[in-house]
Structure 1
Amino acid sequence: MMSSYPLNQSTITIKHRRKLLTRSQGELGLGHKDNALTPTQIKLEFPVEDISKIRLVYQSTSILTNDGKLYVTGNQHRTGFGSDLTEFKQYPQFQNNNTIIQDIDCGYDLFVILTQDNEIWVQGIFDDGLYSDNTSVIRKLQTGNNLINDLSSYNQIKCCDQNLMFFFQSNSYLSQDLGKLLKNGYFSDCNIQDIPVHKILIETRIGKTFDLIKKYLESNCKLNEIQDLLKWIYCDQMINSKRTNEILNHFGIQNAQKTKLLKNDLKQLLFDEQTSDFKLVVKNEDEEEDEEEELYIHKFILAARSGLFLNMFQNLYENFQKVKDYSRKSLETIELLISFLYTDKLPITADTDQEFIKEEFEDIVEYYQLNPRIPMMYIFKKSSKI
């Protein structure tokens, strides 16, 4: 028995190596199906710094680039790409259209794609009513599915094994709301290549005059590059970070993702009389004669963040320059509300009557029809600890 042990060990090793060779399907992207036992450089048609994410599962490897393109190699017995690829090729279903992919993930039998247009595509086995005999065909999840009611709040996607999917909600409700503003063009006052935009927001984010910004973009940038820049301006999102940073560098902005946050830039506009185009009149009950205070704000911010003001501007008071607050809440509460609309924070101080403000906010969130996904009481508690 002792003399046979080395032979058994050698036999097991050979079988194991043969099994590896049998399973190899080009997932290394080296142009062949052989094993690579040492680190080997991969040849790609794009620079390595353009890679946003890499995902590996079973016999395939996927690469997502900063400009939203997906490249794959290898083969999956459940989520095959149509052929055995030994080099990275652009994902065939999205190769000939303008779809920008925002995130990808894969499990053992499932491959999931989230596009910039908030579409979710799945390939493989997904048991919640989407099982298909032809699992190699990619298919889009319908928004009517019980899993998905509103994808606009998600920017990252995860899956596990065959049938589990998790969506991670964006931490910035401000960027969510302004993203809808960009998409719908509510109350824009100018255009860049026929894209409705908001002059004061563009100038505040870039730090240059609008005419200068517009002239440079229209003369030196492609339409998709302008769209990517606007995604950063309105949503703090870097779709094509390399090109967007090049444009921002031209305007003197370095390391934008760390030095130029949306909430910090909008804080500059808070209660700014010079740039505002609207006044909210609030009754100041602290004064002996119940005087009214005028808060200087921006119509596009109110429209983006408050359903009440959006409906008001669209249907009733589009041309009004001011409107009275009828919430019957204190001036302090309304000022805190406006601060939150601009920055996603409540500037609570040691002098704030927190219990009183908290009670008022429970009503004011509903009255102003704020984004229903905003956990306002959590934000209040978090702000009170600052």
Structure 2
Amino acid sequence: MTKVWVSGLNIASKFPSIKGNVKGFSLITVEGCLGQMSGSNKNLVYSTQNDNVFHAFGKFKYEGCLYETKNPNEDPIIKIASGFYHNIILTQSGRLFGFADSGFYQATKQGVFSKPFEIDFFKEKPSQVIDISCSEMQSLFLCENGDLYGVGKNTYLQLDVNKYTTKDNKSKPHVTCYESPVLMSKNVKMMQMGYVSRHTIYQTTDNELWCCGSNTVGQLGLNSKSADKHTTKITLLTDKEKEKIRKIIVGFQMSLLLIGECGLYTCGDAIGNGLDTETLKFVPIPFFQDIPIQDVLCGSYNTLVLSTQNELYGFGHHEFGMELPRKPAKIELPDYDNEILALSMGVDNLLIFAMSNSSLINDFLNFYEAHEFTDYKIKNFKVHKSFLEFRLNSPIGKIDEILKEYTKEELDLFLKWVYSGKITAQGKLISQIYQKFEIDIPMREKSLQNDLLKLYKDDNSKDFTLLVKEEEEEESFDEIPIHKFVFLARSGLFREMFKNINQNEIDQIKDYSGKSIESLEILIRFFYADTFELTADDDPELIVEELDDAVEYYQLNEISTFKKVLNSIKTEK
């Protein structure tokens, strides 16, 4: 079960357990571990990460797996984007699925789709899609090579088939809708349109910002409320500020930029920009000047901000049913118990959910952020030398040389990918750095789990030995070769044991659990892959019995994940 906090209008149409509109925050629970969630005017959609199941509530209802099997390793969903009536699903390999009204993202006029269908347009393109964004009647697709495609109402996209953003591009006024995606710009590294916005902002690799659309402040920097529609370069920021942009956030009549660690810049209408006074240029919001920010998301006139300390802030407009202050303030959630939070948003509702990554990803991210047992430093970042060499297939000297040229924010973002394998909305930057290493396989195939499974099968690279007692009365031990950094990342027990030994002088450690070597070998595979694998000779009932207390004994973090996998092996034989 996953906790979800909801607020706003039309919530009852999306969650039957909620009656009417919600001015504060109400807590509900949904089945499974949420991986991605998105809201829209008529729909709320989300995916569960353990089985690739896609759920839709509201006007369009659906629940089902994208694939024939519910294998969580089968090209997992990494992002869902929602518009007024349509939803797009992006998988790790770049596959795209559409759901509900098809008119604004597929070259078809078949109307409403009752279940997700695969979008084939990008299959023949040279570069896979790494990010998506939807708004009222438009959709954007950002490819790994920097190509930005748009589809939808030309009023808001200003598409021109033959021109890019090297200069202002006048729109074609007679064109009302493109039925298939059109190339908008090359060399784009990040982009955003909002759920109900009628303007788009994107940044190219030379750090220039571009804006197009029809909105009161959609054409930023023009100081005009006219309906002129063309692509415009935003000249409201210094070069240094543009270099540090981490995220673009677009609302209805306001826009935000996340710049550096704490800088949240706003531009737009007073009722939603967090300043309570209109501004037609980007200015920092003073409230956040000392608050390191993890994520920001906009609805129509409402904004949620999540700090790196997992604290929640908000500001916005009361017309849309949510009790957010006009100026930023901290938000207290009912029945909040220190869960890791993630943000989602609809046109007129706020959605916050407890984020549950796989235990493997969580453990390795915590391993990175704890800065324990590190043996190398790149700039000011403490890292684990053998782990970086393994993931990037390069000697530490080369890794150091490549990574030192990046800013603190860029380096932190890339290192989080190295330790987790999660491709985020900043996938373009991660991909650019990744390509500088001599790695033969595409980035989309280099998940943490895939790499660790290969490592698990490579006995030659194992640098440590787990000694398992054969008989209680004998001082003889079986040897199980392992990788030290895997055990340090996954088990609190081994972290405590390693703290009490001289790591430079010892290459083995004894296991005193009293478990059989068969059970331990199955547990060790879980450390590498979050899954168990039994042979024909293994007794499932005995394995379950022996490993029943493994969570407590080995001090594993993700109790629910381990118990679910453990219980599933009862039917293996």
The two structures have a TM-score, normalised by structure 1, of 0.71
AA aligned opposite 1:149: N
* Distance in structure 2 (CA, Å) of the matches to 1:110 and 1:382: 43
| Structure 2 equivalent of residue 266 of structure 1 | 452
- Would the aligned equivalents of 1:269 and 1:275 in 2 still touch at CA under 8 Å? yes
Q: CA deviation at 1:210?
A: 1.3
Aligned twin of 2:564: 378
Q: 2: distance between equivalents of 1:212 and 1:330?
A: 42
Shift of 1:96: 6.0
- Tell me if 1:34 matches 2:225: yes
Partner of 1:241: 427
| CA distance in 2 between partners of 1:356 and 1:92 (Å) | 60
Query: Measured at CA, do residues 248 and 25 of structure 1 come closer, stay the same or move farther in structure 2, by a change above 3 Å?
Result: closer
User: Could you tell me which amino acid in structure 1 is paired with residue 304 of structure 2?
Assistant: V
Match of 1:83 among 266, 277, 289: 277
Q: Is the 8 A contact 1:271 1:295 kept in 2?
A: no
Q: 1:207 to 1:75 in 2, by over 3 A?
A: same
Alpha-carbon distance in structure 1 between the residues aligned to 2:367 and 2:539: 34
Q: Is the 8 A contact 1:112 1:121 kept in 2?
A: yes
Larger deviation, residues 115-124 vs 353-362: 115-124
Higher relative helix content: 1
Per-residue deviation, 1:310: 1.9
In 1, the alpha carbon distance for the partners of 2:440 and 2:427 equals 12
CA displacement 1:87-144 (0-9 Å, x = unmatched):
6x3653488679454x333457742122455443222589xxx978xx233234589x
Aligned pair 1:207/2:393, yes or no? yes
Give, in angstroms, the shift of residue 147 of structure 1: 1.5
Q: Following the alignment from structure 1 to structure 2, what is the Cα–Cα distance between the partners of residues 167 and 330?
A: 40
Q: Is the 2:254–2:273 Cα contact (8 Å) retained in structure 1?
A: no
Distance in 2 between the 1:254 and 1:76 partners? 51
Q: Which of the two has higher C-alpha Rg?
A: 1
Report the Cα offset of residue 56 of structure 1.
3.3
Equivalences, count: 344
Residues 94, 296 of structure 1: alpha-carbon distance in 2 compared, 3 angstrom cutoff: farther
The alpha carbon displacement at 1:265 in A equals: 1.7
| Structure 1 residue 368: Cα displacement | 0.8
The answer to whether the 8 A contact 1:55-1:61 is kept is yes
The alpha carbon displacement at 1:332 in A equals 1.9
Whichever residue aligns with residue 216 of structure 1, its letter is I
In 1, distance between residues paired with 2:293 and 2:441? Answer: 23
* Aligned mates of 2:545, 2:299 — CA distance in 1: 45
Residues 235 and 262, structure 1, Cα contact 8 Å, conserved in 2: yes
Amino acid of the structure 2 residue aligned with 1:202: L
> Which 10-residue stretch deviates more, 106-115 or 292-301?
106-115
- CA distance in structure 2 between the partners assigned to 1:51 and 1:191 by the alignment: 24
- Quick one: which of 327, 332, 336 aligns to 1:147? 336
Equivalent residues in 2 for 1:1-386, closer than 5 Å: 26-30=216-220, 31-32=222-223, 34=225, 36=227, 40-41=230-231, 43-44=233-234, 54-56=249-251, 59-62=253-256, 72-75=266-269, 77=271, 80-86=274-280, 89=282, 92-93=285-286, 99-101=292-294, 103-106=295-298, 110-116=302-308, 118-124=310-316, 135-140=325-330, 146-151=335-340, 154=341, 156-158=342-344, 165-218=351-404, 220-238=405-423, 240-253=426-439, 257-270=443-456, 274-284=460-470, 292-314=477-499, 316-319=500-503, 320-349=506-535, 351-380=537-566
Tell me how far apart the structure 1 counterparts of residues 441 and 311 of structure 2 sit (CA, whole Å).
30
The 1:147/1:168 distance shift into structure 2, 3 A limit, reads: closer
Matches of 1:373 and 1:53 in 2, distance apart?
36
Structure 2 unaligned regions, length at least 5? 1-213
Q: Is the 8 A contact 2:365 2:416 kept in 1?
A: yes
Residues 361 and 162 (structure 1), Cα distance of their counterparts in 2 relative to 1, 3 Å cut:
farther
Q: Is the 2:339–2:354 contact (alpha carbons within 8 Å) kept by the matching residues of 1? A: no
Secondary structure, aligned partner of 2:275: coil
SS of 2:480's partner is strand
**Is 2:422–2:447's contact at 8 Å kept on the other side of the alignment?**
no
Structure 2 CA distance for partners of 1:147 and 1:93, relative to 1, 3 Å? farther
Any idea what the Cα deviations from partners look like across 1:132-185, whole Å, max 9, x if unmatched?
8xx233234589x8514143xx4x313579996422424322221112221222
Q: Aligned-pair distance for 1:212?
A: 1.9
Distance 1:225 1:188 in 2: 20
Contact 2:262 2:293 in 1 (8 A): yes
Output the CA distance in 2 between the equivalents of 1:51 and 1:223: 12
Determine if contact 2:267/2:273 at 8 Å carries over to the other structure.
no
What do residues 282-304 of structure 1 show as CA deviations (whole Å, max 9, x unaligned)?
2347xxx9963212223332222
Tell me the TM-score normalised to structure 2 length.
0.50
CA contact (8 A) 2:343 2:351 kept: yes
How many Å separate the matches in 2 of 1:159 and 1:327? 47
Partner secondary structure for residue 221 of structure 1: coil
Alignment partner of 1:166: what SS?
A: strand
Match of 2:191 in 1: none
Write the distance in 2 (CA, Å) between the matches of 1:39 and 1:243.
30
| 8 Å contact kept, 1:125–1:162 | no
